[in-house]
């Protein structure tokens, strides 16, 4: 075997030879690492979710002989109940193996049109990957001078619009009123709001779903529910949009969620007290970190997420990331234009954030 991966192989399909896959943030396993690079939650998931998963396995794992519910109805009901104040029903919910998989279904089912898909030029880097995978034409829309999304620039012919709110990796939040204005103007294509981080400071657009049949809101249990390892995400929208996603899903994998994931996700959604406690702790640590970084001379973009995006006028971003790494602190640095001086720092525990600030004081 060659240890060097071939650029292409005659055994690969033409599709595989064309792909430019997403490169996930690294998951290093060094001891004593302060890992602030992939926006995981520093707190454990709800103890009730852990107990529910253990109960699902049982003492002998007998339930795992059986296939899970292919439509994960209990989970759809739990999502609908969580957003009961907005009058959401289980038929308005689609679930998948992480929101990445939900997004893959969205690209296949709802965004294959002649006009280009629009998304911000600085945004979640899986969007161009999925557009490439499914052969969807796409155009990016530049962020404004303050690294914010200007939705008025999306009012042109399009085959769909997708953006995260808060945006990643900037952390900047759009108010719901601006999304509502876009939806009022853009009625002919699907608008997807990727709310992976909304629980750390934003209002969810699920509030608008029953007024706009072309709105789809995508959520994950990876961030605010500390379950990145379980891989659960969902989408909320009009039943017609959900039906399209189900059709693609049933042509692809009829059992996307396993029994353990369904049990854990339901219990996590039901434990509102744990959800509120842990996300409020992350928000409080974020506010402290923003003020500490500002005192050190960093420019920190306003963040409504569980990370901050910051640059230091006197120091190169790549060098800072490297200097932190030498002190066993891992943050994310992007080589992309316009943001290559920034660090994206996940909010850890107060102790982890303290270690970061102490290391930066040494470095600067
Ligand atoms: N959307 C955005 C904006 C993200 O940052 C992430 C996390 N990388 C995801 C979706 C996917 O999260 P997951 O697949 O863990 O649900």
Kindly report the three-state secondary structure assignment for every residue of 71-107.
CCHHHHHHHHHHCHHHCCCHHHEEEECHHHHHHHHHH
Strand partners, 198: none
CA 134 centroid distance within chain: 20
Instruction: Determine the pLDDT at residue 18.
Output: 86
Choice from 22, 26, 99, 127 to test ligand 1 binding pocket (greatest atom count within 8 A of CB): 99
Cβ atoms 37, 332 nearer than 8 A: yes
Choice from 98, 164, 198, 222 to test ligand 1 binding pocket (greatest atom count within 8 A of CB): 222
Among the atoms of ligand 1, which is closest to the Cα of residue 232?
16
Q: Residue with the nearest Cα to atom 7 of ligand 1?
A: 196
Instruction: Determine the pLDDT at residue 3.
Output: 56
Q: Residues with Cβ within 6 A of ligand 1?
A: 98-100, 124, 164, 168, 194, 196, 220, 222, 228, 233
Q: Residue with the nearest Cα to atom 1 of ligand 1?
A: 196
CA 283 centroid distance within chain: 17
Q: How far is the CA of 37 from the centre of ligand 1 (A)?
A: 13
ipTM strictly over 0.90?
yes
How many angstroms separate the CA atoms of 234 and 102, rounded?
6
Instruction: Determine the pLDDT at residue 1.
Output: 47
Residue 69 backbone phi and psi in degrees, to 5? -65, 115
Instruction: Determine the pLDDT at residue 20.
Output: 87
Instruction: Determine the pLDDT at residue 131.
Output: 96
Instruction: Determine the pLDDT at residue 113.
Output: 87
The tens-digit pLDDT sequence of the chain (364 residues) is: 445 566 778 899 988 888 888 988 888 877 789 999 999 999 999 999 999 999 999 999 999 999 999 999 999 999 999 999 999 999 999 999 999 999 999 999 999 889 999 999 999 999 999 999 999 999 999 999 999 999 999 999 999 999 999 999 999 999 999 999 999 999 999 999 999 999 999 999 999 999 999 999 999 999 999 999 999 999 999 999 999 999 999 999 999 999 999 999 999 999 999 999 999 999 999 999 999 999 999 999 999 999 999 999 999 999 999 999 999 999 999 999 999 999 999 999 999 999 999 999 999 9
Instruction: Determine the pLDDT at residue 117.
Output: 98
């Amino acid at each position: 075997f060659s240890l060097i991966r071939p650029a292409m192989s005659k055994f690969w399909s033409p599709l595989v030879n064309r792909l430019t896959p997403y490169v996930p943030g690294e998951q290093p396993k060094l001891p004593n690492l302060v890992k602030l690079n992939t926006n995981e939650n520093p707190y454990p998931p709800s103890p009730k979710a852990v107990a529910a998963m253990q109960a699902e396995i049982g003492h002998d794992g007998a339930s795992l002989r059986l296939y899970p519910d292919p439509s994960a109805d209990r989970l759809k009901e739990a999502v609908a109940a969580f957003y009961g104040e907005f009058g959401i029903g289980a038929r308005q919910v689609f679930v998948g193996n992480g929101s990445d998989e939900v997004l893959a279904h969205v690209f296949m089912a709802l965004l294959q049109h002649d006009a280009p898909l629009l998304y911000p030029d600085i945004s979640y880097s899986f969007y161009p990957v999925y557009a490439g995978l499914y052969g969807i034409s796409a155009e990016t829309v530049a962020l404004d001078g303050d690294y914010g999304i200007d939705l008025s620039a999306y009012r042109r012919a399009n085959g769909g619009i997708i953006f995260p709110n808060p945006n990643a990796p900037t952390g900047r939040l759009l108010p719901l009123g601006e999304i509502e204005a876009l939806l009022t103007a853009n009625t002919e294509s699907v608008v997807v709001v990727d709310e992976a981080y909304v629980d750390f400071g934003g209002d969810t657009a699920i509030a608008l779903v029953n007024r706009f049949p072309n709105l789809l809101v995508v959520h994950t249990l990876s961030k605010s529910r500390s379950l990145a390892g379980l891989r659960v995400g969902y989408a909320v929208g009009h039943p017609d949009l959900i039906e399209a996603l189900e059709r693609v899903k049933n042509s692809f994998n009829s059992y996307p969620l396993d029994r353990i994931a369904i049990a854990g996700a339901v219990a996590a959604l039901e434990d509102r007290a744990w959800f509120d406690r842990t996300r409020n702790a992350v928000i409080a640590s974020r506010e402290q970190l923003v003020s500490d970084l500002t005192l050190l001379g960093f420019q920190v973009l306003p963040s409504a997420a569980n990370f901050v995006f910051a640059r230091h006028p006197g120091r190169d971003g790549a060098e800072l990331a490297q200097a932190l790494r030498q002190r066993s602190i891992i943050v994310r640095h992007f080589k992309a234009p316009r943001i290559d001086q920034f660090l994206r720092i996940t909010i850890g525990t107060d102790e982890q954030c303290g270690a970061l600030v102490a290391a930066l004081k040494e470095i600067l």
